[in-house]
């Protein structure tokens, strides 16, 4: 449950600015993976103001928000995590039509009085994300239309802010923030693997299938085949420690990136994907590792 503890200033109306990108929100039920079946825990959203495809976790709903006021775009002058370009934020919002000022004011008051933002989004938002309680998922700089991005990235965690775009008025809040999946080059991984302390502390995860691992493998990697996702995913935090550095590998990097993003969504703090996978390791580090 998320609650706002800060005192917020009274709202004012930020000026609208035009932008060329059309806002198109659609929720795609499954993520296309390299190996079927598609895990039911994976979902993705695509939109014109968000570039590419992203994994999003199932976030418990509702998020109950209790506020003592609203802040606006102009009221927040700095990022809560500085200007880190890799920072990702988890965003929830309610969108109403520009001309529906009475409804917008009513929703502001109702959230101020402690009503559940997820329920208000489901009932009143005109964004397709309403079916997810207004949850847009994880986003980073450069993926959203300017007005929305500026408001979201200047917002303090769990503080509702307002902004206006050509699509209408938004009540939005940032529920969480994180660092994205990082790449590790195979040369660096090889060097680290020579250190016994690294091999003891790091969590090395191979998401390839058993028949692939029989052809080529690296020492120290635990096997979590992606096709068996439904068998190991529910207990992942009992099998791996979310606080430890975790390194995911597949054949070429695609499947491991999907799993690495999912691990982040489950609360893992430091997740790496092996760039180019075991294929790159064979080509650049150890030719004795078979390619297939």
Catalytic residue numbers, as ranges = 250
Taking only the tens place, the pLDDT of each residue in 21-38 is 333 232 222 222 323 223
How far, in Å, CA of 108 to CA of 170, rounded? 10
**Residue matched to tokens 């009513």:** 106
pLDDT given at position 143: 85
What distance in Å separates the CA atoms of residue 263 and residue 138, rounded to the nearest whole number?
13
3-state secondary structure 56-101: CCCCCCCCCCCCCCCEEHHHCCCCEEEECCCCEEEEEEEEECCCCH
Give the helix ranges, DSSP H, for the chain: 101-112, 117-124, 146-154, 186-193, 196-201, 210-215, 229-232, 236-239, 254-265, 277-284
Q: Dihedral sign for Cα 116, 56, 189, 243, please.
A: positive
The pLDDT of residue 20: 25
CA diameter of the chain = 70
pLDDT at 161: 95
Chunked in runs of 10, what are the mean pLDDT values of the chain (292 residues)? Answer: 30 28 28 29 33 34 35 35 69 96 96 93 97 92 91 94 95 90 97 97 98 98 97 97 97 96 90 98 98 96
Domains and CATH numbers, the chain: 25-178 (3.10.50.40), 182-284 (3.40.250.10)
| CA 48 from centre of chain | 17
Residues in Cβ contact with 196 at an 8 Å cutoff, skipping those fewer than 6 apart = none
3-state secondary structure of 28: strand
Q: Which tokens is 190 given? A: 């090889």
* pLDDT at residue 88 in the model: 86
Describe the crossing of helices 117-124 and 101-112 by its angle, rounded to 10 degrees: 160
Q: Using DSSP, state whether 243 is helix, strand or coil.
A: coil
What mean pLDDT, rounded, does the chain reach? 77
In angstroms, the CA 128 to CA 162 distance is 19
Q: Are 115 and 54 in contact (CB under 8 A)?
A: no
pTM score, two decimals? 0.55
What integer pLDDT is reported at residue 267 of this predicted model? 86
pLDDT at 84: 66
Cβ neighbours of residue 130 under 8 Å, at least 6 residues apart? 121, 122, 123, 124
């Amino acid at each position: 449950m998320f609650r706002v503890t800060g005192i917020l200033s009274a709202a004012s109306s930020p000026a609208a600015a035009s932008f060329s990108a059309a806002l198109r929100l659609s929720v795609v039920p499954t993520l296309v993976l390299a190996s079927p079946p598609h895990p039911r825990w994976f979902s993705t959203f695509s939109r014109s103001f968000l570039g590419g495809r992203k994994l999003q976790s199932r976030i418990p709903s509702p998020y109950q928000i209790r506020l003592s006021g609203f802040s606006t775009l102009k009221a927040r002058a700095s990022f809560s995590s500085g200007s880190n370009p890799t920072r990702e934020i988890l965003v929830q919002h309610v969108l109403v039509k520009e001309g529906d000022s009475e409804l917008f004011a009513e929703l502001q008051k109702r959230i101020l009085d402690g009503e559940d933002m997820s329920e208000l989004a489901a009932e009143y938002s005109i964004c397709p994300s309403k079916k997810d309680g207004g949850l847009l998922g994880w986003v980073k700089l450069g993926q959203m239309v300017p007005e929305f991005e500026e408001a979201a990235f200047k917002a303090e965690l769990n503080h509702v802010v307002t902004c206006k775009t050509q699509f209408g008025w938004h009540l939005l809040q940032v529920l969480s923030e994180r660092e994205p999946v990082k790449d590790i080059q195979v040369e660096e991984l090889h060097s680290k693997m020579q250190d016994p302390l690294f091999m003891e502390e790091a969590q090395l995860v191979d998401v390839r299938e058993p028949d692939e691992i029989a052809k080529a493998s690296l020492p120290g990697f635990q096997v979590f085949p992606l096709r068996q996702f439904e068998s190991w995913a529910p207990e992942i935090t009992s099998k791996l420690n979310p606080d430890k550095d975790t390194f995911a590998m597949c054949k070429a990097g695609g499947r491991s990136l999907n799993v690495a993003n999912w691990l982040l969504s489950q609360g893992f703090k430091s997740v790496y994907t092996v760039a180019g996978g075991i294929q790159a390791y064979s080509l650049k580090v150890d030719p004795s590792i078979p390619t297939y």
